[in-house]
């Protein structure tokens, strides 16, 4: 049994302008009686530092929305509203609450816990239209985060054999392909272009500390960064392969972008890479209408690892404007099922990315059929990045981020992954699944909205309609 | 017990102000003529005798835009056009998709007055979740109801096995959910028990042991046997009429229970027979139950210790919840209590609440139908919980196939919970509901809390009776499984 995987979170506040949800304002009619100071157990209300006769401005950041100051101020002088920044941030996919929860996880590395039930909508698009299953009585015991038993979150990358062939003396004839293990089913995808050096470095170091991977374009791999080659997936074009033989030799994984030509070139390119060293090859396929066909052909053609890349809100990239699009959950299912139909699913590794925004998306993507996921934006949200979807995608990094130490930035990314890892354990524990690799395509452990709704309400209410007809 | 004999008493908020839906602003154009103060019968504007200036408007008393039709509408009456009326931005900070601000406000009014709100501006029958109960509507028949309200019974029996055990009948098809001592304060627990006694129904201890102060209410208390077995003893099992096995809870299916060290105060630790200040875990699942046969052994064990008690089995809502329910029937349970993921008062990981197991609406349907197919439906009581927020939710759950419901959050909201979700952080609930911090727990007394709960149950019962009357039914038992009385807005075209 492999060693138990641990991530070490550390409290790591970041004193940059951060997002908050509730805004408290004190009106003119305040009489400085100090009642609010007494009733707010989160210490949002304090007297002025310079003049203790007067109340200081409320520290609205710490407000937890308990309404006590509002209800108890003798003058009704306090007002509370949803902060404008909070209301504006994100969009239909990156909901404003996601920013707050990821920020908090980056702060303390803990699983977000709240009381008083679930607050969100019944279902939504994509991953919000499925639930993970659990098992009530007959099931393996769980371990979760409390360490009573072993749950492995590690997954394997690489080509697997469909079956083994043995010679007549029982000797193994098949050649086993090399594989690479990652201890969490999450790798870091290509970072944004305009990141400051400290953030870039921190991302690489975080990937190394987690013992996962970060995908980096070859031009980004400076000698300083190259030290972490063990945890870098080298992204290059077919033309660059010759030039970077040295780098490829040390790399464990390289990645190529899919082009129409690549399908034919693949065997030759793989040979070239193999000649340089032992690196496995990922083919990155942008998600379009024809993605499952492409993935299937690549798999038949010997691809080891295929990374399907949807856009930042998990959508298929439409071939022409205004066309309808599928979303990541359905895309992964389609790709997975196509490979199952073609009887080749077990032989390749599928990485899915685009719209992986919260911890729950990782096991859900896997239940839909991915082997693992890749993320980029959540790592930046951990640092206070703001995304705006409308009218067009904008990503804003907080001022002063470039001056934060690499250590702090790295720790916040580690914290986020620690929280996600713990949440993955929670979900797996509830499912009674002890190995992350068994999550892949395990739809028996998923409940899909359309299916369950059809099976229950569909039966109840459609019947009535036909009666009416 | 007749619900009509329950005593209702006005029990206002503990706080000076309530959360306003509207905002009334008086601009600097005001000349303090006092017209508005005289006009408004709801007391929004006040001018103290001898003062020149009118006090700032008291927003929460304002009845909102419907006032436009009144001749006392202050905005229209003000000679200086100094007044304006808008929705208060604060209102947006109250509530969420499931429990909307209107629903919380309405529940507060019910807890205060004992009746559904008279105001017309609150949508409190459905929430905003966009699915499940919120997409189901009741289909009332046309025509005048022919049944006298006083003939309508809201009683349901809990023992349908005919096995010689206690024939328990509760007067309203609702009882209080398990909230353990430690996760809520003692006054909260006692108030729940007192209310359960008044309503001839039940409350549940949760898994945190059985506080002595509940003794006078023993006949209305369900004690829980959960995986942690905290505070479970033969005496506690012998004291009660119903014992509940908690396999899982909807808010965190498959995750067991967890009480943070900070909340494990000296008194909590004593009750749970644990060490103060340590975090306490209830494992998942029962490490002695890996099959229905094991499950039966546990039920037999309880039945042996208490020969009169009914046994309830509480499970969450995985895909195979229907099998578990039938298994529990064969194992000898009297009540199968299914707990969906949207409720839960205690702290739970957000990821679990949102993602694990199916919504209660589906589970009720599945379990009811499967029990029917197995011929077991009439011999077991099906109780639903986890997302029953209003009398309408209760009725819908019954139409889908439940016999009754367990409520938790609605009780908390009656006690002025604002659903801020901070129950587990630091000192616990700032409003003294889910807190064992002595200063915070003293925020309200049992008298107040009991009456608020009683009032809320009363308001629900009134609504239930009205609905039954409209359907022409004499008993809530006629409503069970009547999906033909529901329509689903997605399927209605
Ligand atoms: S309670 Fe109200 S009046 Fe008193 S200090 Fe606070 S804001 Fe001012
Ligand atoms: S609403 Fe509660 S948490 Fe927020 S400032 Fe007022 S008392 Fe503090
Ligand atoms: S009626 Fe208008 S002018 Fe007169 S006191 Fe009221 S707000 Fe002021
Ligand atoms: S902390 Fe908030 S959600 Fe929890 S009981 Fe108190 S008011 Fe309700």
d(CA B186, CA A222): 63
Percent of residues in chain B assigned helix, strand, coil, to nearest 5: 40, 15, 50
Give the number of whichever ligand sits closest to the CA of residue A72: 1
- A73 and A159 in a common domain: no
Distance B79 CA to ligand 1 centre (A): 32
Residue A162 — φ and ψ, nearest 5°?
-70, -40
SS3 label, residue B213: helix
Please name which of B489, B441, B407 lies closest in space to residue B111, comparing C-alpha atoms: B407
Tell me the two tokens of residue A369. 């059929």
Most confident of A117-121, A339-343, B337-341: A339-343
Distance A148 CA to ligand 4 centre (A): 31
Residue A439 pLDDT: 94
Is a pLDDT exceeding 50 seen at residue A97? Answer: yes
Could you identify the atom of ligand 2 that is nearest to the CA of residue A39? Answer: 7
Measuring from atom 5 of ligand 1, which residue has the nearest CA? A32
Please name which of B96, B94, B103, B135 lies closest in space to residue A121, comparing C-alpha atoms: B96
Neighbouring C-beta atoms of residue B493, cutoff 10 Å: 5
Query: Measured between CB atoms, which of B59, B90, B422 is closest to A64?
Result: B422
pLDDT digits (tens, 9 = 90+) for B230-243: 677 788 889 999 99
Say if CB A95 and CB A332 are below 8 A apart.
no
d(CA B68, CA B166): 57
d(CA A380, CA A357): 11
Tally the domains of chain A.
2
d(CA A152, CA A437): 9
- A305 and A425 in a common domain: yes
Residue A70 — φ and ψ, nearest 5°?
-60, -45
Residue A121 pLDDT: 93
- A75 and A217 in a common domain: no
Q: In terms of pTM, does the model score above 0.80?
A: yes
Ligand 1 contact via A438 beta carbon (within 6 Å): no
**Bridge-based pairing state of the strands B310-315 and B242-246:** parallel
A360-389 residues touching B, CB cutoff 8 A:
360, 364
H or E element that contains B107: helix B101-113
The CA distance from A98 to the nearest CA of chain B, in Å, is 12
Residue B292 pLDDT: 78
- In a domain, residue A97? The reply is no
Ligand 4 contact via B417 beta carbon (within 6 Å): yes
- A427 and A289 in a common domain: yes
Every domain of chain B and the residues it spans: 22-92, 149-488
pLDDT digits (tens, 9 = 90+) for B126-167: 999 999 999 999 999 988 878 899 999 999 999 999 999 999
User: In Å, how far are B19, B134, B173, B312, B459 from B170, measured between CA atoms?
Assistant: 35, 27, 7, 15, 17
Mean pLDDT of A402-419: 97
Task: Report ipTM (2 d.p.).
Answer: 0.91
Query: Measured between CB atoms, which of B58, B319, B349 is closest to A112?
Result: B349
d(CA A459, CA A462): 6
A429 chain-B contacts, CB cut-off 8 A? 254-255, 284
Say if CB B368 and CB B401 are below 8 A apart.
yes
Report residues whose beta carbon is within 6 angstroms of any ligand 3 atom.
Answer: B 26, 30-36, 45, 54, 78, 80, 82-83
Tell me the two tokens of residue A438. 């068994």
Percent share of chain A, pLDDT over 90? 73
Our CA angle for A236, A239, A245, nearest 5°, is 70
Could you identify the atom of ligand 3 that is nearest to the CA of residue B83? Answer: 7
Residue B175 pLDDT: 95
Mean pLDDT of B186-214: 89
d(CA B493, CA B490): 7
**Cβ pair A430:B352 closer than 8 A:** yes
Residue B228 pLDDT: 67
Is a pLDDT exceeding 90 seen at residue A436? Answer: yes
Q: What's the farthest any 2 CA atoms get from each other in chain B? A: 80
**DSSP letters for B154-178:** --EES--S-SSS---EESSSEEEPB
CA gyration radius, chain A:
25
Please name which of B383, B3, B366, B405 lies closest in space to residue B160, comparing C-alpha atoms: B383
Please name which of B411, B420, B407, B423 lies closest in space to residue B259, comparing C-alpha atoms: B423
Range with lowest mean pLDDT among A77-86, A136-145, A151-160, B297-306: A136-145
**Cβ pair A115:B348 closer than 8 A:** yes
Most confident of A3-7, B281-285, B316-320: B316-320
**Angle formed by the axes of helices B101-113 and B446-471, to 10°?**
110
Measuring from atom 8 of ligand 4, which residue has the nearest CA? B417
Is a pLDDT exceeding 90 seen at residue B342? Answer: no
Which residue of B96, B257, B421 to mutate against A (max A Cβ within 10 Å)? Answer: B421
pLDDT digits (tens, 9 = 90+) for A152-208: 899 999 988 777 788 888 888 877 778 899 999 999 999 998 899 999 999 999 999
Q: Peptide bond before B45: cis, by omega within 30 degrees of 0?
A: no
B149-488 belongs to which homologous superfamily? Aldolase class I (3.20.20.70)
Helices (H) and strands (E) in chain A, counts: 15, 17
Is a pLDDT exceeding 70 seen at residue A464? Answer: no
Say if CB A446 and CB A133 are below 8 A apart.
yes
Say if CB B453 and CB B369 are below 8 A apart.
no
Please name which of B207, B228, B381 lies closest in space to residue B311, comparing C-alpha atoms: B381
The CA distance from A443 to the nearest CA of chain B, in Å, is 11
Residue A150, chain B, CB below 8 Å: the answer is: no
Percent of residues in chain A assigned helix, strand, coil, to nearest 5: 40, 15, 45
- In a domain, residue A113? The reply is no
Residue B257 pLDDT: 61
Neighbouring C-beta atoms of residue A241, cutoff 10 Å: 20
- In a domain, residue A41? The reply is yes
Question: A351 pairs with which residues across the strands?
Answer: A307, A372
d(CA B353, CA B343): 8
Answer CATH for B22-92 from 3.40.50.300, 3.30.70.20, 3.40.640.10, 3.40.50.1860? 3.30.70.20
pLDDT digits (tens, 9 = 90+) for A372-391: 999 999 999 999 999 999 88
- In a domain, residue A93? The reply is no
Q: What is the CATH classification number for the domain harbouring A78? A: 3.30.70.20
**Cβ pair A74:B16 closer than 8 A:** yes
Range with lowest mean pLDDT among A137-146, A367-376, B63-72: A137-146
d(CA A403, CA B343): 44
Out of A82, A105, A130, a domain closes at A82
Residue A144 pLDDT: 41
DSSP B480: T
Say if CB B340 and CB B388 are below 8 A apart.
no
More confident residue, B391 or B2: B391
User: What are B268-277's contacts with CB under 8 Å, separation 24+?
Assistant: B268/B181, B268/B182, B268/B208, B268/B436, B271/B181, B271/B182, B271/B208, B271/B209, B271/B210, B271/B211, B271/B230, B271/B231, B272/B182, B272/B208, B272/B209, B272/B228, B272/B230, B272/B231, B273/B209, B273/B230, B273/B231, B274/B230
The CA distance from A315 to the nearest CA of chain B, in Å, is 21
10 Å CB burial of residue A406 (0-12, 13-18, 19+) is middle
Out of A82, A109, A132, a domain closes at A82
CB under 8 Å to A400, separation ≥6 — which residues?
A16
pLDDT digits (tens, 9 = 90+) for A196-215: 999 999 999 999 999 999 99
Mean pLDDT (chain A, rounded): 90
Q: What is the CATH classification number for the domain harbouring A373? A: 3.20.20.70
pLDDT band, residue A142 (cuts 50/70/90): very low
Give the domain range for residue A206.
155-452
d(CA B221, CA B200): 11
CA gyration radius, chain B:
24
d(CA B337, CA B116): 27
d(CA A310, CA B401): 42
Distance B352 CA to ligand 3 centre (A): 53
pLDDT band, residue A146 (cuts 50/70/90): very low
CA nearest to B345 within chain A: A116
Please name which of A401, A424, A376, A438 lies closest in space to residue A7, comparing C-alpha atoms: A424
**Bridge-based pairing state of the strands A386-388 and A280-286:** unpaired
SS3 label, residue A418: helix
A280-339 residues touching B, CB cutoff 8 A:
none
pLDDT digits (tens, 9 = 90+) for A65-93: 999 999 999 988 999 999 999 999 999 99
More confident residue, B348 or A280: A280
- A288 and A406 in a common domain: yes
Distance A68 CA to ligand 1 centre (A): 12
**Cβ pair A131:B355 closer than 8 A:** yes
Please name which of A279, A369, A283, A295 lies closest in space to residue A333, comparing C-alpha atoms: A369
CB under 8 Å to A122, separation ≥6 — which residues?
B97, B129, B130, B131, B132, B134, B135, B359
**Cβ pair A142:B283 closer than 8 A:** yes
More confident residue, B237 or A364: A364
B285 chain-A contacts, CB cut-off 8 A? 136-137, 139, 141-142
User: In Å, how far are A432, B137, B176, B373, B398 from B362, measured between CA atoms?
Assistant: 22, 16, 22, 17, 13
Ligand 4 contact via A115 beta carbon (within 6 Å): yes
Give the number of whichever ligand sits closest to the CA of residue A43: 2
pLDDT digits (tens, 9 = 90+) for B17-51: 999 999 999 999 999 898 999 999 999 998 877 77
Could you identify the atom of ligand 4 that is nearest to the CA of residue B184? Answer: 5
Neighbouring C-beta atoms of residue A261, cutoff 10 Å: 9
- In a domain, residue A287? The reply is yes
- In a domain, residue A141? The reply is no
pLDDT band, residue A2 (cuts 50/70/90): low
d(CA B429, CA B421): 8
Ligand 1: which of A33, A54, A63 to mutate, most ligand atoms within 8 Å of CB? Answer: A33
The CA distance from B122 to the nearest CA of chain A, in Å, is 19
Our CA angle for B442, B447, B450, nearest 5°, is 105
pLDDT digits (tens, 9 = 90+) for A227-250: 999 999 999 999 999 999 999 999
- In a domain, residue A8? The reply is no
**DSSP letters for B23-53:** EEEE-TT-----HHHHH-TT--S---TT-SS
**Cβ pair A41:B319 closer than 8 A:** no
Which residue of B352, B366, B386, B444 to mutate against A (max A Cβ within 10 Å)? Answer: B352
Give the number of whichever ligand sits closest to the CA of residue B425: 4
10 Å CB burial of residue B100 (0-12, 13-18, 19+) is buried
d(CA B423, CA B346): 7
């Amino acid at each position: 049994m492999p060693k138990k995987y641990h991530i070490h979170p550390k409290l790591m506040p970041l004193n940059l302008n951060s997002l908050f949800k509730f805004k408290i304002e004190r009106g003119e009619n305040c009489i400085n009686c100090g009642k609010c100071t007494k009733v707010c157990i989160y210490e949002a209300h304090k007297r002025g530092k310079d003049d203790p006769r007067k109340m200081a401005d409320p520290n609205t950041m710490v407000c937890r929305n308990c309404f006590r100051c509002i209800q108890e101020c003798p003058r009704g002088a306090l007002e509370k509203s949803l902060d404008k920044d909070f209301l504006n941030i994100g969009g239909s996919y990156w909901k404003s609450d996601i920013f707050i929860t990821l920020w908090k996880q980056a702060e303390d590395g803990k699983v977000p816990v709240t009381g008083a039930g679930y607050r969100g909508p019944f279902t939504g698009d994509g991953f919000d239209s499925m639930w993970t299953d659990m098992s009530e009585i007959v099931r393996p015991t769980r371990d979760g985060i409390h360490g009573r038993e072993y749950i492995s979150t590690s997954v394997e990358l690489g080509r697997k054999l469909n079956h083994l062939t043995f010679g007549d003396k029982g000797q193994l004839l098949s050649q086993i392909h090399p594989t690479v293990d990652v201890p969490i089913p999450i790798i870091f995808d290509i970072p944004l272009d305009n990141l400051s050096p400290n953030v870039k470095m921190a991302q690489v170091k975080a990937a190394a500390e987690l013992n996962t991977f970060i995908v980096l374009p070859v031009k980004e791999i400076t000698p300083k960064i190259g030290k972490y080659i063990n945890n870098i997936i080298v992204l290059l074009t077919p033309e660059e392969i010759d030039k970077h033989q040295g780098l490829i030799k040390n790399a464990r994984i390289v990645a190529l972008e899919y082009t129409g030509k690549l399908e034919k070139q693949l065997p030759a390119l793989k040979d070239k890479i193999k000649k340089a060293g032992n690196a496995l090859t990922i083919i990155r396929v942008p998600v379009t209408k024809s993605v499952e066909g492409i993935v299937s052909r690549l798999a038949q053609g010997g691809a080891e690892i295929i990374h399907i890349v949807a856009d930042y809100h998990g959508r298929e990239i439409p071939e022409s404007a205004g066309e309808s699009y599928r979303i990541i959950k359905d895309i992964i299912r389609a790709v997975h099922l196509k490979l199952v139909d073609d009887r080749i699913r077990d032989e390749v590794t599928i990485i899915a990315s685009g719209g992986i925004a919260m911890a729950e998306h990782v096991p859900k993507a896997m239940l839909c059929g991915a082997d693992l996921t890749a993320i980029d934006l959540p790592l930046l949200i951990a640092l206070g990045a703001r995304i705006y979807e409308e009218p067009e995608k904008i990503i804003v990094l907080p001022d002063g981020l470039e001056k934060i130490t690499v250590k702090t930035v790295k720790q916040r990314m580690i914290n986020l992954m620690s929280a996600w890892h713990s949440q993955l354990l929670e979900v797996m524990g509830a499912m009674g699944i002890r190995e992350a690799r068994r999550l892949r395509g395990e739809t028996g452990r998923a409940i899909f909205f359309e299916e369950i709704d059809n099976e229950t309400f569909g039966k109840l209410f459609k019947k009535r309609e036909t009666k009416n007809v | 017990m007749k619900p009509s004999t329950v005593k209702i008493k006005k029990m206002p908020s503990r706080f000076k102000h309530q959360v306003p839906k509207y905002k009334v602003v008086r601009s600097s154009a005001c000349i303090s003529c006092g017209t508005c103060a005289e006009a408004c019968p709801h007391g929004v504007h006040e001018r103290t005798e001898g003062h020149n200036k009118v006090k700032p408007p008291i927003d929460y008393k304002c009845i909102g835009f419907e006032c436009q039709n009144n001749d006392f509408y202050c905005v229209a009456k003000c000679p200086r056009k100094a007044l304006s009326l808008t929705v208060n931005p604060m209102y947006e900070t109250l509530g969420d998709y499931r429990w909307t601000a209107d629903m919380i406000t309405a529940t507060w009014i019910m807890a205060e007055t004992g009746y559904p709100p008279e105001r017309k501006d609150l949508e409190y029958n459905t929430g905003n979740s966009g699915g499940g109960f919120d997409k189901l509507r009741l289909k009332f028949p046309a025509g005048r109801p022919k049944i006298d309200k006083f003939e309508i019974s809201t009683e349901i029996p809990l023992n349908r096995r005919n096995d010689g055990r206690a024939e328990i009948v509760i007067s309203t098809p609702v009882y209080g959910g398990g909230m353990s001592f430690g996760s809520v304060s003692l006054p909260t627990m006692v108030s729940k028990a007192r209310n359960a006694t008044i309503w001839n129904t039940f409350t549940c201890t949760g898994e945190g042991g059985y506080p002595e102060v509940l003794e006078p209410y023993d006949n209305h208390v369900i004690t829980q046997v959960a995986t942690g077995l905290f505070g479970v003893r033969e005496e506690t099992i012998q004291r009660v009429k119903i014992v509940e096995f908690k396999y899982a809870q909807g808010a965190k299916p498959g995750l067991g229970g967890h009480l943070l060290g900070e909340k494990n105060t000296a008194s909590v630790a004593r009750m749970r027979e644990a060490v103060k200040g340590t975090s306490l875990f209830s494992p998942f699942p029962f490490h002695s139950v890996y099959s229905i046969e094991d499950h039966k052994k546990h039920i037999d064990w309880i039945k042996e210790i208490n020969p009169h008690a009914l046994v309830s089995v509480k499970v969450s809502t995985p895909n195979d919840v229907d099998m578990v329910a039938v298994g529990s029937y064969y194992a000898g349970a009297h009540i199968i209590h299914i707990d969906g993921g949207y409720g839960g008062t205690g702290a739970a990981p957000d990821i679990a609440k949102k993602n694990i197991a199916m919504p209660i609406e589906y589970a009720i349907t599945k379990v009811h139908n499967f029990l029917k197919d197995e011929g077991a439906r009439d011999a077991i009581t099906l109780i639903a919980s986890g997302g029953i927020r209003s009398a309408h939710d209760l009725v819908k759950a019954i139409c889908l196939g439940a016999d009754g419901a367990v409520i938790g959050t609605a009780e908390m909201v009656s006690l002025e919970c604002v659903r801020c979700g901070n129950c587990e952080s630091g000192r616990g609930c700032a409003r003294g509901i889910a807190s064992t911090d002595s200063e915070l727990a003293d925020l309200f007394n049992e008298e107040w809390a009991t009456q608020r709960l009683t009032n809320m149950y009363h308001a629900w019962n009134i609504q239930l009776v009205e609905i039954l009357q409209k359907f022409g039914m004499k008993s809530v038992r006629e409503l069970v499984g009547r999906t033909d009385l529901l329509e689903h807005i997605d399927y209605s075209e």
